[in-house]
């Protein structure tokens, strides 16, 4: 199957999941996750109509973005772990950072966005499974609340919502309780009505579990393998 055919098949499955959940297809975005795949593959996904792309590494995207400069309507989000010392480069290259996991990183990104003269959309990454090896803020942590409370001081960032990667499970249903927990967390934060916080985005669901994520309220699924094929092992 071509990239365009794979995208079309995913869009049909997304629409079916939306319909099962009584949701509008317009409420769930498809992000193509292009890590390890060349600029040419991103261009094919763009030709097939996609405009939202996720990349995991600042350095990798630095090498690709020059070849994609003419795709003015595409939006590139950083979705992989970001070290504070790469915040400047990230703010320069990306439209949004979906993996913010500390106040320190948010402050660095805010300063970098200010220097770039832009407003960066960000998501807060939540370690919803409490996994040792994974990045992200703990759901009920004081770190999460400190970051939310700092929003008025982060004038060049726009906090748009939450992102999570649930613990790996061989069966997509295994992720459902974690997706549900994320939606509850999003609703709890929304209900606090904090200044300068938007909670309209919930980024969750990947190639093997995106339908369950949509049923549980995801507004943005991040699909790599099901669009671009298997990644070479790094
Ligand atoms: C790689 C990656 C994805 C896509 O995973 P697939 O299983 O290939 O769809 C989504 N989100 C993040 C954060 C990733 O690193």
Q: How far is CA 213 from CA 47, 51, 111, in A?
A: 26, 21, 33
Residue 79 near ligand 1, beta carbon < 6 Å: yes
* Of 4, 5, 24, 1, residue with least CA distance to 14: 24
Q: Which residues pair with 126 in a beta bridge?
A: 137, 164
Residues 153, 192: contact at Cβ < 8 Å?
no
- For residue 132, pLDDT over 90 is answered with yes
Q: How many CB atoms lie within 10 A of CB 90?
A: 25
For ligand 1, atom 11, the nearest C-alpha belongs to: 222
Task: Tell me the best of 54, 94, 98, 128 to mutate to test the pocket of ligand 1, counting ligand atoms within 8 Å of each CB and taking the most.
Answer: 54
Which residue minimizes the CA distance to atom 12 of ligand 1? 79
* Whether the CB of 165 sits within 6 Å of ligand 1: yes
In the predicted structure, residue 234 carries a pLDDT above the cut 80: no
Main-chain dihedrals φ then ψ at residue 146, nearest 5 degrees: -65, -40
Confidence check: pLDDT of 233 > 90: no
228: its two tokens: 């671009």
Range 87-111 average pLDDT: 98
Total residues found in the chain within this entry: 234
Query: Does the C-beta of 87 come closer than 6 Å to ligand 1?
Result: no
Give yes or no for residue 164 CB within 6 A of ligand 1: no
State residue 230's pLDDT score.
Answer: 93
Q: What is the mean pLDDT of residues 59-84?
A: 97
Question: Greatest CA separation found in the chain?
Answer: 48
Given a contact cutoff of 8 angstroms between Cβ atoms, the answer to whether 190 and 231 are in contact is no
Average pLDDT, the chain: 97
Q: Which helix (H) or strand (E) holds 111?
A: helix 103-116
**Confidence at residue 184, expressed as pLDDT on a 0 to 100 scale:** 98
pLDDT for 232 equals 80
Average pLDDT over residues 4-8: 98
C-beta 35 within 6 A of ligand 1: yes
Q: How far, in Å, CA of 100 to CA of 157, rounded? A: 11
Does the pTM surpass 0.75? The reply is: yes
The encoded tokens of residue 196 equal 């300068």
Q: Give 185-206 pLDDT, tens digit per residue.
A: 999 999 999 999 999 999 999 9
Characterise 204 by phi-psi region: left (phi > 0), alpha (psi -120 to 50), beta (else).
beta
d(CA 105, CA 93): 16
């Amino acid at each position: 199957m071509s990239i365009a055919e794979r995208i079309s098949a995913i869009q049909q499955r997304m629409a079916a999941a939306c319909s099962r959940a009584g949701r509008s297809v317009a409420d769930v975005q498809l992000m193509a996750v292009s890590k390890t795949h060349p600029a040419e593959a991103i261009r094919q996904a763009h030709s097939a109509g996609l405009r939202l792309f996720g990349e995991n590494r600042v350095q990798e995207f630095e090498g690709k973005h020059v070849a994609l400069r003419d795709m003015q309507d595409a939006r590139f989000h950083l979705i992989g772990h970001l070290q504070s010392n790469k915040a400047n480069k990230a703010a320069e290259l990306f439209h949004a950072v979906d993996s913010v996991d500390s106040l320190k990183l948010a402050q660095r990104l805010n300063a970098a966005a200010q220097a770039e003269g832009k407003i960066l959309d960000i998501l807060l990454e939540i370690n919803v499974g409490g996994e040792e090896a994974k990045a992200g803020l703990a759901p009920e942590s004081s770190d999460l609340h400190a970051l939310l409370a700092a929003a008025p001081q982060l004038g060049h960032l726009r906090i748009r919502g939450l992102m999570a990667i649930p613990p790996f499970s061989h069966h997509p249903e295994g992720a459902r309780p974690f997706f549900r927990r994320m939606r509850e967390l999003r609703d709890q934060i929304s209900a606090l009505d904090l200044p300068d916080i938007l909670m309209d985005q919930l980024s969750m669901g990947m190639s093997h579990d995106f339908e369950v994520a949509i049923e549980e309220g995801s507004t943005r699924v991040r699909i790599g393998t099901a669009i671009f094929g298997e990644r070479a092992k790094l």
